[in-house]
Chains A and B, each alone.
Chain A
Amino acid sequence: MRQVLPIAFLAACAVPASMLAGQESSAPSGRSVDQLLQAAVKARDENRQEEAIGLFQRVLSEQPESEQALWYLGTVFYEKERYAEACGLLRQFVTIRPDAGPAWALLGLGEFRLRQYPRALGHLQRAMALGMGDRKELVQAVFYHVAVLLSRAERFDDSMDMLLKMLASGPTNPALVEPAGLAGLRLPLLPAEVTPDRRELVNLAGQAVLALQTQHYEEAESAFRRLASVYPNEPGVHFLYGAYLMELHPDDSVQEFERELEISPSHVLARIRLAEHLITQRDFDRALALARQSIKLDPKRASAHMLAGEALLGAGNAGDGLKELETAREYDPGVSRIHWDLLRAYAAAGRKEDAEREKREIEKLHRAESTRPGNL
């Protein structure tokens, strides 16, 4: 998966017919441009790359908006690892055909190779939203790169969501081990940026995460234990182990989260997970204290406000609890649990209209979830 996209794929990459509808019909020198184009495509198909490049460039000098020339020449440059030139052409292509998912994908992959990571992420996500047809290899490459770029952008949970989708779509891919380890340890590095002395840590974490997600529980347990014993002082390890334990042995997770907070005192998510656990134990005072610490560290984190709201409501302070929940909703209106909390709280307070609105929001979120594009 390190190789962005196999050259063989590109060689077989004909211009998608749907991407080229209704073009090249009104060129002032139509015949000669068409002939040039045909010759260029032939040269490309016969692997006479340099000749193809020259011919496509001649087409573009005659007809700068020739979709076929932009696309083909873009892919030729991509194949030849001339990414800057490829991206320049593909950008022009997507200007003309903004609905062309595969073109956005190739552009994003090229930008990845140019290490323009924020831009690459945006374009690859656009490709996902538009769809890439039945090009499975391209789709997998895009998902992989989006996942690793999300981690690098410190959006670890989103990255993990992507990796889980990839896992769900087929047999476990060894290429996913490192990305899973990085997302699990909350290290914003690409696999290529992991130094040799960190590789074992990252791999071990990745194996544990993947084993858990593929329901190989014994293997997961063993990997998590080994991770915690080999790297007892490494930031992120005890949080990851705690998150695992929380699913299966919630009481045991507490000491892992607490240990993580000794190592990483500003670890917001360890506090949040602890608070979440304490709420299930109806220990609202301690949960509230942790939620408030989280808010202090990260004032705009919706989950911290949500848990503060839940703890306050649990302790009987409905007024302040509602305020916290409303703050949580403001920061992230896309979390169902916040709307459920609000629905119950409004209903308990006799605010029927507000409760109805929350109900509608929940239904809307469920509908959006079920129709969200981008699954493999």
Chain B
Amino acid sequence: MTRPGRRLPSPRAFLFRAIFLLYSSSVPSLLPVLLISFSVAPAASVPASFEAIARQADAARSQDRVQDAIRLYRKGTHLRPSWTEGWWYLGSLLYDQDRFPEAANAFQRLLATTSHRGPAHAFLGLCEYEAGKYDDALEQFRAWAETGWPATPQLRDVAVFHFALLLTRDGKFVESLYLMAPLASRLGDNAELSEAMGLASLRMPNLPENYPPDRRERIWLAGKAALYAAQSPAAFDQADEFAARLEERYPAQPEVHFFRATLYGFEGKKLEAEREYRQELRIAPNDVPSLVALAALDLEKAEVAEAGNLARQAAGADPKNAEAHHLLGRVLFANGDLRASASELEMAKRLAPDSPLIRSHLAMVYTKLGRTQEAKAESATFLTLKRKEEIMASPKDRLGEVREKAR
């Protein structure tokens, strides 16, 4: 019994398959919609040799003569820089050869030749990630998301995974986990995914390639817990087992109790969550996410004074934390101090203009203050944002819709 029961392909393996399908000679009809929809440059004023080269390139590709195909697509795109298909295949072939900087160049040229840019953004993001241009890659993935995440299912999985890695690196841990959770549910127990989820869960702004090696075990344990919790239905027993191991092994390390508390929160175990948040604060007294989470729990229990203290401490520690101001606004509202509440909520709104809940609470305060028009506007915004709670949509996108509605 030495063979494992299953081996899940890595995200990259999915991508290779996707690319293979895209250019496999046996399935020319699988050329994705994105390519079919690309505008092909007009045939006029094309040198006679271009058609021949294009045919030779396609033949080389379909006969798996990769080097020849690369050379011919290069030649073809040189002759006709607007040759969308040529750039696409050149980029794909180079990517498949792990020649990322060259592939990135091809996809950049592809983006310049077409208005249908969606999947090309995803591919370019992947190339730039692999070439170590992480900020550029993140920009490409954001551009991809703004075009509506167009991709084959395989490409989407791989691109989303790398997008999530970059969000973690950028300190956007919640958004990163939000992206990875559906992957975890679909792919199951996948080692690469659990490592990525571990980094985000422990709020480490690192990539899998560059975190301190001595943190591997705790990242693995946290990642397994997060991955099991993200299954559908959630496998909380298994998640708890790994989280308990993590806590037992690393009781004095920052982020460990915060993670455990978050997991308890998902399980609806509020008392246990509260205990863990307090434990985290013993290790890191000004840990803002723990302060905010505890304040929210206290507010839920109507322990307004304690909630207020915690929210003030959080806002003091991180004045740009929208949630801290939001909670403080709610506390002040509960105490009847409407003007101060409005002021805090307005600050929260400025910091997080796409948060529907802040708008909802602001509408309530404005209503109480008799500021009816402002209350209506905030309510309308709340409804729009609520409907569009796709967390990765850009604030611009969300607010764009709001403005359209307002017209």
Q: Is the CB of B238 within 8 A of A300?
A: no
List 18 additional contacts besides A264-B241, A301-B5; criterion CB under 8 Å: A88-B99, A91-B98, A92-B97, A94-B97, A95-B67, A95-B70, A117-B208, A119-B98, A153-B191, A157-B3, A188-B220, A190-B216, A265-B237, A297-B238, A301-B6, A302-B3, A331-B6, A332-B5
Quick check: is B189 within 8 A (CB to CB) of the other chain?
yes
The yes or no answer to A272 lying at the interface (CB within 8 A) is yes
CA distance A287 to B188 in the complex (A): 26
Does chain A have a CB within 8 A of B267? no
For the complex formed, measure the closest distance between the CB of B237 and the CB atoms of chain A, giving whole angstroms: 6
Q: A363 at interface (Cβ–Cβ under 8 A)?
A: no
Whether A195 is near chain B, meaning CB under 8 Å from some CB there, is: yes
Q: How far is the CA of A116 from the CA of B245 in the complex (A)?
A: 27
In the assembled complex, the Cα of A94 lies from the Cα of B12 at a distance in Å of: 18
The verdict on B2 contacting chain A, using a C-beta distance below 8 Å, is: yes
What separation, in Å, do the CA atoms of A195 and B249 have in the docked complex? 11
Q: How far is the CA of A88 from the CA of B67 in the complex (A)?
A: 16
Report if A247 contacts B (CB, 8 A).
Answer: no
The residue from B2, B70, B132, B210 contacting A160, defined by CB atoms under 8 A apart: B2
- Which single residue of chain B is at the shortest CB-CB distance from A114? B209
A155 at interface, CB cutoff 8 A: yes
Question: Which residues from A are CB-within-8-Å of B241?
Answer: 264-266
In whole Å, how far is A287's beta carbon from the nearest beta carbon of chain B?
A: 14
Fill in one digit per residue for A71-106: 1 if any B CB lies within 8 Å of its CB, else 0: 000000000000010001001101110100000000
B350 CB, nearest partner CB in chain A, Å: 40
Min CB distance B133 to A, Å, is: 13
Residues B191 and A96 in contact, CB atoms below 8 Å apart: no
Pairwise interchain contact B3-A115, C-beta atoms closer than 8 A? no
Q: Any chain B CB within 8 A of the CB of A50?
A: no
Contact between B5 and A155, CB atoms less than 8 A apart: no
Asked if A157 and B2 sit within 8 Å, CB to CB, the answer is yes
- For B309, what are the chain A residues with a Cβ–Cβ distance below 8 Å? none
A residues at B contact (CB < 8 Å): 65, 84, 88, 91-92, 94-96, 98, 114-119, 152-155, 157-158, 160-161, 187-190, 192-193, 195, 198, 235, 264-266, 272, 276, 297-298, 300-304, 331-332, 334-335, 337
Q: In the complex where A265-B241, A332-B6 touch, is A91 in contact with B99 (Cβ < 8 A)?
A: yes
Determine whether the beta carbon of B217 is less than 8 Å from that of A198.
yes
Q: Within B199-221, which residues are at the interface with A (CB < 8 Å)?
A: 208-210, 213-214, 216-217, 220
- Least CB distance from B293 to A in Å reads 27
Q: Closest residue to B66 on the A side, CB-wise?
A: A95
Q: How far is the CA of A92 from the CA of B70 in the complex (A)?
A: 12
Nearest neighbor of B97 in chain A, beta-carbon distance: A95
Query: Which residues on B sit within 8 Å (CB–CB) of A276?
Result: 1
Which residues in chain B, 102-135, are within 8 Å of chain A measured between CB atoms?
132
Do B99 and A193 have beta carbons less than 8 Å apart? no
Residues of A within 8 A of B4 (CB): 155, 157-158, 332
- A189 with B98: CB separation less than 8 A: no
Bitwise, B223-239 to A at CB < 8 A (1) or not (0) is 00000000000000110
Q: How far is the CB of B97 from chain A (nearest CB, A)?
A: 5
| Total contacting residues, chain B, CB less than 8 A | 33
- 21 pairs, A vs B, C-beta closer than 8 Å: A88-B99, A88-B101, A91-B99, A95-B70, A95-B99, A115-B210, A116-B209, A117-B208, A118-B12, A154-B189, A155-B7, A193-B213, A193-B214, A193-B216, A198-B217, A266-B238, A266-B241, A300-B6, A303-B1, A332-B5, A335-B3
Q: Does B10 contact A (CB under 8 A)?
A: yes
Rounded to whole angstroms, the CA-CA distance of A190 and B6 in the bound complex is 22
Q: Which residues of A contact B3 (CB under 8 A)?
A: 157-158, 302, 332, 334-335
Q: A115-B209, A118-B192 in contact; A302/B97 too (CB < 8 A)?
A: no
Q: For residue B238, which residues in chain A have a CB less than 8 angstroms away from its CB?
A: 266, 297
Given contacts A188-B220, A190-B216, A193-B217, contact A92 B6 (CB under 8 A): no
Chain B residues in 8 Å Cβ range of A88: 99, 101
Query: Nearest chain A CB to B94's CB is how many angstroms away?
Result: 9
A304 near B66: Cβ-Cβ < 8 Å: no
Interface residues of chain B, those whose CB is within 8 Å of chain A, are 1-7, 10, 12, 66-67, 70, 97-99, 101, 132, 188-189, 191-192, 208-210, 213-214, 216-217, 220, 237-238, 241, 245
Chain A CB within 10 Å — which of B3, B99, B189 has the most?
B3
Query: How distant is the Cα of A298 from the Cα of B189 in the complex, in angstroms?
Result: 9
B residues within 8 A CB of A266? 237-238, 241
Check A235–B5 contact: CB distance below 8 A: no
Cβ of A189 and Cβ of B209 under 8 Å apart?
Answer: no
A276 to B10, CA, bound (A): 31
**Contact (Cβ within 8 A) B245 A235:** yes
Whole-angstrom distance between the Cβ of B99 and the nearest chain A Cβ: 6
Q: Which chain B residues border A304 with CB–CB below 8 Å?
A: 5
Rounded to whole angstroms, the CA-CA distance of A193 and B220 in the bound complex is: 11
Verify B6–A302 contact, CB threshold 8 A: yes
Q: Which residues of B contact A91 (CB under 8 A)?
A: 97-99
State in angstroms the CA–CA spacing of A303 and B6 once bound together: 10
* CB neighbours of A98 from chain B (8 A): 66
Given A115-B209, A265-B241, decide whether A92 and B217 contact each other with a Cβ distance below 8 A.
no
Smallest CB-CB separation from B215: which chain A residue? Answer: A193
Q: How far is the CB of A329 from chain B (nearest CB, A)?
A: 12
**Cα-based distance from A199 to B4 in the complex (angstroms):** 26
Q: How far is the CA of A213 from the CA of B99 in the complex (A)?
A: 42
- Determine the residue in chain B with the shortest Cβ distance to A156: B4
Write the chain B residue with the least CB distance to A157.
B2
Residues of chain B lying within 8 A (CB to CB) of residue A84: 132
Q: Kindly list chain B residues whose C-beta atoms are within 8 Å of the C-beta of A119.
A: 12, 98
Query: Inside 8 A of A187's CB, which chain B residues have their CB?
Result: 217
In the bound assembly, the distance between CA atoms of A98 and B213 in angstroms comes to: 32
Cα A116 to Cα B6 in complex, Å, equals 23
Most B CB within 10 A of own CB, among A65, A92, A118, A190: A118
CB pair B67 A190 closer than 8 Å: no
A187→B98 CA distance, assembly (Å): 30
Task: Compute how far the CA of A297 lies from the CA of B70 in the bound complex, rounded to whole angstroms.
Answer: 47
B11 vs chain A, min Cβ distance (A): 9
A362 to chain B, nearest CB (A): 15
**CA A155 to CA B4, docked complex, whole Å:** 7
Q: Give the distance in Å from the alpha carbon of A297 to the alpha carbon of B67 in the complex.
A: 46
Please tell me if the beta carbons of B213 and A190 are within 8 angstroms of each other in the complex: yes
In the A-B complex, the 4 residue pairs with the closest CB atoms: A301-B5, A193-B216, A302-B5, A266-B238
What residues of chain A lie closer than 8 Å to B10, measured between beta carbons? 118
Given the complex of chains A and B, what is the CA–CA distance between A372 and B92 in angstroms?
32
Q: Give Cα distance in the complex from A335 to B101, angstroms.
A: 42
Check A331 against B2 for contact (C-beta < 8 Å): no
